[in-house]
Amino acid sequence: MSSKPGRITIRGSEKAPLADARAVGPVPADERMEVTIRLRSKNPLSTLSANHVADDVTPNQRSYLSRAELADAHGADPQDVAKVVSFAQGHQLVVVETNPDQRSLVLSGTTASFNAAFGTSLQNYEHAEGTFRGRVGSLTVPSDLEGIIEGIFGLDDRPQARPHYQRHQKGGIASEVASPGSFTPTQLASLYNFPSGLDGSGQCIGLIELDGGFRPADIRAYFSGLGLPTPNVKAVRIDGGRNHPTNANSADGEVMLDIEVAAAIAPKATIVVYFAPNTSQGFLDAVNKAVHDNTHKPSVISISWGSAESNWTVQSMTALDQAFQAAAAVGVTVCVAAGDNGSSDGVNDNKAHVDFPASSPFALGCGGTKLVATGQKIASETVWNESVASSATGGGVSDQFPLPTYQHNARVPVSANSGGKAGRGVPDVSADADPATGYQVRVDGQNAVFGGTSAVAPLYAGLLALMNQKIGKPVGFLNPLIYGSLSGKGLFNDVTSGNNGAYSAAAGWDACTGWGSAVGAKLLAALNI
């Protein structure tokens, strides 16, 4: 939809139709909804380099901002907030919340008011998994708001992401018996030589969840079985999201996998679960809440949800990437699963795709391996690829983000697509993710074995919590270090065998497993100087 005279288009707001969805009629004019408006920062986040948080220096050489300092330096300008409030009120929209610290406003109003305010036409759609309120095309605002509003989220509430976990099947049936070759998280910690004598005390790990829930009884039973103390798990509600467990075949599997893996590695860390709806609005609001959470103050955030870059608007990817930059500023590491559908990332167009938000240059992208152990030692570790289309690690080259400076010497290939271009390479690190050699967990009263890169993100989150505890200062943005001064020092088990479809493993960094799986104690020693 082109902008009218006196109006400008919000850059990156163009929304494509969902492939298998059909419009069934306009959203009723009087239907009410809430929408999040993302505003520009008073100072560009690129100024973060002044504190060395994005440089190839160890944590002890970095100077992190407090969350209050982040808000003061990089929040929204009060004059910008006032302009948007005036605009909203002029379109009969109610300002529910102003949050300059997170550069956001929440507006409430009717379909008719939002259609008029943002130059769109909301429709109801049906698709294979249900119904949603949606739009196509771009959004517009009056020209005097040009540059002030950077994103508008919540008009379209289609499902945005999927959880990246897979339950081990035996003969096509989900098994409640631990499979031969599967592991508890603590066994994997031992195989990967995670540092001993640490328990995550004083640390907080934030988990982003877009559906599902946890049952305290399951958590107590699981950790009792591991001989570990029951972790302190808290739930935070975002945009109406809540802890809502149902059954073991739902997104509960994702929630419990994340909690159980992270807390098994760092049992004394506080685990805060940010529950939000599975929409672009919910995803962004949950991440911003976790980054700016001055109550729980997570030092690590784990995200096991995502989808191919082609499923996102540019405004969504830009906003989440900026949120991850803000996380780096306050010393928060963001670990993100790289996807479970090989180099296609589940898109049936015969092209290579990478998963977002793992493809954000400010995320620690977490890929998957197949690990086989003999006794207390790793016998082999190869690229996870049981089925290139449906059970294999994600990885590849971003179509959205250019090659970051820290990857210039990593020999990232151009995209495998015709006329391939250079871009951000994914993943950065990896660990066991094959369901056949997966993680023993408990979900809704059932014991099960889960795999997927969903397990790798909380595994690294737990490791980072241990390292933060030992160093006494957050590790923060790890990528510049592992691609820079720490590369080639034997801090990772290099995975050199296998492929995920379009990309193959090789010595050094590759677009299947990144640098490989961390040798935890060695990585800690290299960082703690």
Residues labelled as active-site residues:
254, 258, 454
User: How far is it, in rounded angstroms, from Cα 152 to Cα 238?
Assistant: 17
List C-alpha distances in Å: 302 to 327, 366, 430, 474.
Answer: 12, 10, 14, 15
Residue from 355, 257, 250 nearest 310 by CA: 355
Give, for 38, the enclosing helix (H) or strand (E).
strand 32-39
Query: Which amino acid, residue 223?
Result: F
CB 306 within 8 A of CB 339: yes
Query: 450's torsion region: left (phi>0), alpha (psi -120 to 50) or beta?
Result: beta
User: How far is it, in rounded angstroms, from Cα 453 to Cα 433?
Assistant: 5
CB 430 within 8 A of CB 459: no
CB 114 within 8 A of CB 156: no
User: How far is it, in rounded angstroms, from Cα 467 to Cα 481?
Assistant: 15
**Tokens representing 431?**
């660990």
CB 165 within 8 A of CB 29: no
User: How far is it, in rounded angstroms, from Cα 207 to Cα 258?
Assistant: 7
